[in-house]
Amino acid sequence: MFSITVTGSAELRAALVRLQGGVRDPKQVLQRIGVVLEGNVQERLQTKADPTGRAWLPLAPSTRARYAKADGQRRQGTLLVRTGLMMASLSSTVSGSRVTVGFARPYALYHETGTARGGRPWMPRRGMLTADPTAGTLGAQDEADVRAEIDRWLDSLAR
């Protein structure tokens, strides 16, 4: 299991502060945020683009050849959804005042960050969770969706 701590824009941080001030038990809203972010990741697995909208690079010819041989020349799945196991392991959990969204499959880390061999890029990054895994930033749409979910939740409390 790997962990990336997400840091948000000033607007997202302000929304989280509003949430802290308005809710004693944030579990329900954090669950809703987790579901929204899971949906965004599932969409990326369909559109084949990272949280910034940048299209993922296709598989290397050597990888395509290896998969074709392993699959008996029958094409299975699509880019990052070859067997469906990684996608099926996507989940979100809430613990205290934290929501965690991620994959139970350890190789998801390699797709999220990319890999290198001998100091040279090997497998390109195909981000699903973060706009920048090093900085831990969400994509603009993810931030907007989280802020909207917080606003909806706070509005529902005011009624």
The pLDDT of residue 1 is: 40
Summarised one tens digit per residue, pLDDT across range 69-111 is: 877 766 666 778 878 889 999 999 999 888 999 999 999 999 9
Residue 61 pLDDT greater than 90, yes or no: no
Contact between 36 and 145 under an 8 Å Cβ cutoff? The reply is yes
Query: What amino acid is encoded at 31 in this protein?
Result: Q
How far apart, in whole angstroms, are the C-alpha atoms of residue 69 and residue 136?
37
Tokens linked to 100 = 């965690």
**Over the stretch 1-50, which tens digit does the pLDDT of each residue have?**
444 566 667 777 766 666 666 666 788 889 999 999 999 999 999 999 99
CA distance 70 to 74: 9
- Output phi, psi for 102, to 5 deg: 180, -170
Q: How far is CA 60 from CA 5, 57, 141, 143, in A?
A: 30, 9, 29, 32
Q: Which pLDDT score, from 0 to 100, does residue 139 have?
A: 95
Task: Determine the residue type at 66.
Answer: R
For residue 58, give the DSSP letter. Answer: P
Which amino acid makes up residue 4?
I
